[in-house]
Amino acid sequence: MDTTDGAARQRRPAGARSQARVTPAAMAVHLVEAPDRLENLLSRAVRNLKQRAEAELQQAKPYQPAAEVGMKAVVSYSHKDERYLRELDVAVSQLRRNGLISVWYDRKILPGEEWDLEIDGCLSNADLVLLLVSPDFLASDYAYSREMSLALQQRESGMAIVIPIILRASDWTNSPLGSLQVLPSNARPVLSWANRDEAWLDVIRGLRRLITRQQ
């Protein structure tokens, strides 16, 4: 064996590592790629935070929509009196905010839902039925013979309270509603008040008394 070459070589210290020489070209590539690497790291961190938040939400109590509060009221009316329905819907706003009432009427039926089933179902589950009484209401076969009849049946069975709200002068006293206490006060039609806001305020005060008494 030739030992002269081995003697000439310097012995490498134990555990020493060879260091790769970094060329200017490699350094330039590294500097160019640094922003992309940083962006990838940030994206990965954000993704991890989102996954952790989603996992914590899944472990938390499932979201449940707020239940309807107060008495469930259904309004029966003639579509010829729709302007009065809109006025009533505005007038009950404070009752809603106080958690005393929720109001449903047929304009809330969604596309594709069955008209009769929705109305009958809501009337059957109502705590309170508001009948907007006018000559057109009394003349409407649907409002009079179907909705009012079902509302009175619910009243007779003790399932709902029925309150006629007199909109315009009519022969309602000779109908099945003639024996019921009505609003506004003294059965004065809403249309006959000089100030309609005062008429609706009188109605709301009557409803508030009734609802608070039921609680």
Computed over every residue of the chain, the mean pLDDT equals 84
* pLDDT for position 6: 47
State which amino acid sits at residue 45: A
CA separation for the pair 131, 191 (Å, rounded): 15
Looking at 3.30.300.30, 1.10.1370.30, 3.40.228.10, 3.40.50.10140, the CATH number of the domain 71-214 comes to 3.40.50.10140
Given a cut of 80, is residue 9 above it in pLDDT?
no
More confident residue, 72 or 8: 72
CA separation for the pair 119, 206 (Å, rounded): 25
pTM value is: 0.68
pLDDT digits (tens, 9 = 90+) for 44-73: 766 777 777 676 666 654 544 445 578 999
**Which element (helix H / strand E) includes 191?**
none
* pLDDT for position 52: 74
Highest mean pLDDT among 1-15, 23-37, 63-77, 191-205: 191-205
What the block records as the tokens of 93 is 């706003």
E runs forming strands in the chain: 71-76, 101-104, 128-133, 161-166
* pLDDT for position 66: 46
- Give all strands of the β-sheet with 71-76 in edge-to-edge order: 101-104, 71-76, 128-133, 161-166
How many other CB atoms are found less than 10 A from the CB of residue 131?
Answer: 26
**For the chain, what are the domain ranges?**
24-64, 71-214
**Do 136 and 78 form a contact (C-beta atoms < 8 A)?**
yes
CA distances from 205 to 97, 173, 211 (A): 15, 23, 10
* pLDDT for position 96: 96
State which amino acid sits at residue 98: N
| CA 101 to chain CA mean position, Å | 15
